[in-house]
Amino acid sequence: MLNLRSHVATVLSIGLTVLAGNWRAGAEIKLPNILSDHAVLQREAPVRVWGWATPGARLKIGFHAQSLVATADELGEWTAWLMPEHAGGPYSLIIDGGPQEGKKELRDVLVGDVWIASGQSNMEMPLRGFPPTASVQNSEKEIAAANNPMLRLLLVEHKSSDVPLQDVAGQWSQCTPETAREFSAIAYMFGREIAQEEHVPIGLIDATWGGTPIDSWLSLDTLGNDPALWPAFSNRAKFADQQTNLNAQIASENAAAASAKAAGRPVPTHPWHPEESSWLPAGLYNGMIAPLMNESIKGFLWYQGETDSAPTRAPHYSTLFPALIEDWRAHFGQGNLPFLFVQISSFHSPGEYWGMVRDAQRRTLFVTNTAMAVSLDVGNPENVHPADKQTVARRLALAARGLVYGEPVAYASPLFREATTEPGAIRVWFDNANGLRFANKSMEGFEVAGSDHQFVPASAMIQGETIVVSAPGVPNPRYVRYGWSNVVQNWFYNSAGLPGSTFTSEEVPDRP
């Protein structure tokens, strides 16, 4: 049984230790790592500058044509707000504490747009790929061309924590082949296109960790205050139970692999074992997102969901995902920040519910100021890490250009609006459906069901901006869905060349 008093004491001890690390007893100004040389500050928005110094210290802050004063409080923390600036630079940011505190000068600071990219391995996958199992399309060419003075990169190191931290490991760097090769391929390619189209500097923050569930990225206050989100804790308990004999299991697997290799036999394949701390509810929020909350930003990029396709997790994604969006927006305190996300792709993963997760992602578009990049047609059924990151990044950039920057570009895929019944068929109506076309002559991937909800494969034909779906064995179809299987190999597009999304017309799908 959990000793609650002991648990609370432990958490308080950790929190005080974190705080003590920033309470300056010596005479020196300390800045968070997110404020460093080569940083990008968000344009056309108030920008917070903060750090630590001796309690009571008076600091003079200068940036561009601005000057202001801040005083450290009794804990040594200080904050100042810069007035909004237009895109430009490079500038210097100077914090001067006089003879006692010394002076900090940040050089080569740009003003532009800052985007936070987060999620699991398909967002984390760097330009160099994950050798030897996964590569990025044209990787070497992309790396060689990654000299881009308009881009700045901040790679956040993996960190899980029981309590929200105040700083991250990692600092801003200029975009060069050496720094870009280790950085999120999708985030880099997204930033490259936005910088080119909008003609402003772009700062990219890569806060990702492969193989992680969504509840690790939500704050504990959000998870704890909504009973609809509490399954995250029961899933954590199940995961913890599975770790009981983990060391012995890994040792056995390693011994089997060594024995097979010594005997010249094929090395057996063993299940992947995630790092336990990365599956801690709120752990990654505390360690990798909370320290970023003082930063003024333009918006978020998100690519995650593969881990939540497990049968115990998939039914809860439709509540956890919109909760995460609202959670981050509330903690950043900058209004309804744009949230652009990728719908997970296709992968041969028996026993998992990829279609259910994709549909939950589609349904999350009810949240204001969101957009979704569909990736069904660029997946790899045999590799969970598809190589074509360029197409995914381009679709995210289209969404940003249309939704965020107000360009007159088509950026949305055909999205299910409603289904109406006809004699022996069901007609599907879509938004963004101009110029519908099938990728192949025959269209598979659609299914229909009667009142029993038992879906069967169906044929489909395009009529204007609708698709009519029917199956001989279902004379009175009531429900229709598309792309529900883990692997989808037949696609339809609109005139913008964007693929249709997985959907079901069921009100609340509760089955694979």
DSSP string across 22-54 = HS--SS--B--TTSSTT-EEETTS-EEEEEE-S
Both structure tokens of 175? 């975009």
CB count in 10 Å sphere of residue 96: 16
Kindly report, residue by residue over 119-133, the tens digit of the pLDDT: 999 999 999 999 999
Q: Is 159 helix (H, G, I), strand (E, B) or coil?
A: coil
Boundary (domain end) residue, out of 353, 385, 411: 411
- Residues 500 and 415: their CA atoms lie apart, in Å, by 6
- Residues 370 and 340: their CA atoms lie apart, in Å, by 6
Give the pLDDT of residue 250: 55
Kindly report, residue by residue over 212-264, the tens digit of the pLDDT: 999 999 999 999 898 888 787 776 656 655 655 555 655 665 666 677 677 87
Kindly report the backbone phi and psi dihedral angles of residue 457, in degrees, each rounded to the nearest multiple of 5, phi listed first. Answer: -60, 145
Same domain assignment for residues 138 and 171: yes
- Residues 68 and 47: their CA atoms lie apart, in Å, by 13
- The parent domain of residue 436 ranges over 415-504
Same domain assignment for residues 343 and 434: no
Same domain assignment for residues 166 and 264: yes
Q: Is 443 helix (H, G, I), strand (E, B) or coil?
A: coil
Same domain assignment for residues 329 and 465: no
Give the pLDDT of residue 230: 76
Same domain assignment for residues 183 and 247: yes
Q: In the block, which residue shows the tokens 């648990």? A: 7
Boundary (domain end) residue, out of 411, 433, 457: 411
> If pLDDT is split at 50, 70 and 90, which confidence band does 15 have?
very low
Same domain assignment for residues 132 and 258: yes
Kindly report the backbone phi and psi dihedral angles of residue 39, in degrees, each rounded to the nearest multiple of 5, phi listed first. Answer: -70, 160
Kindly report, residue by residue over 298-312, the tens digit of the pLDDT: 999 999 999 999 999
Same domain assignment for residues 341 and 477: no
Kindly report, residue by residue over 21-58, the tens digit of the pLDDT: 444 344 589 999 999 999 999 999 999 999 999 999 99
Same domain assignment for residues 284 and 305: yes
Task: Write out the E strands in 138-281.
Answer: 148-155, 172-175, 202-208
Those residues whose C-beta lies under 8 Å from the C-beta of residue 325, and which sit 6 or more positions away, are: 339, 364, 367, 370
Three-class HEC string of 378-440: HCCCCCCCCCCHHHHHHHHHHHHHHHHCCCCCCCCCCEEEEEEEECCEEEEEEECCCCCEECC
Q: Is 275 helix (H, G, I), strand (E, B) or coil?
A: coil
Strand partners, 199: none
In a domain, 57, yes or no: no
In a domain, 51, yes or no: no
Same domain assignment for residues 474 and 350: no
Same domain assignment for residues 123 and 238: yes
Same domain assignment for residues 399 and 451: no
The CATH number linked to 296 is 3.40.50.1110
